[in-house]
Amino acid sequence: MVQLQLADLVKKSKGDKRKGYCYEVVNYDDYKNTNTQIETLLNSTLQR
């Protein structure tokens, strides 16, 4: 999750350390593109 926050794809919307946090997507298009790239890499790795 930290990596997604550093890439400005998600941000904390509410919550605290004890109960946990809720996150929201900052830019859905960028988030979707990143998910697609990750899925493609995982699928190609699993097919080897």
Strand partners, 23: 12
Mean pLDDT taken over the chain: 91
- Per domain, the residue ranges of the chain are 2-46
Shortest CA distance to 25 belongs to which of 7, 48, 39?
7
pLDDT in tens, 14-33: 999 999 999 999 988 988 99
- In this predicted structure, the answer to whether residue 39 has a pLDDT above a threshold of 90 is yes
Long-range contacts of 1-10 (CB under 8 A, 24+ apart): 4/31, 4/34, 7/34, 9/34
- In this predicted structure, the answer to whether residue 1 has a pLDDT above a threshold of 90 is no
- In this predicted structure, the answer to whether residue 38 has a pLDDT above a threshold of 90 is yes
pLDDT for 19 equals 93
Q: Specify the higher pLDDT residue, 3 or 39.
A: 39
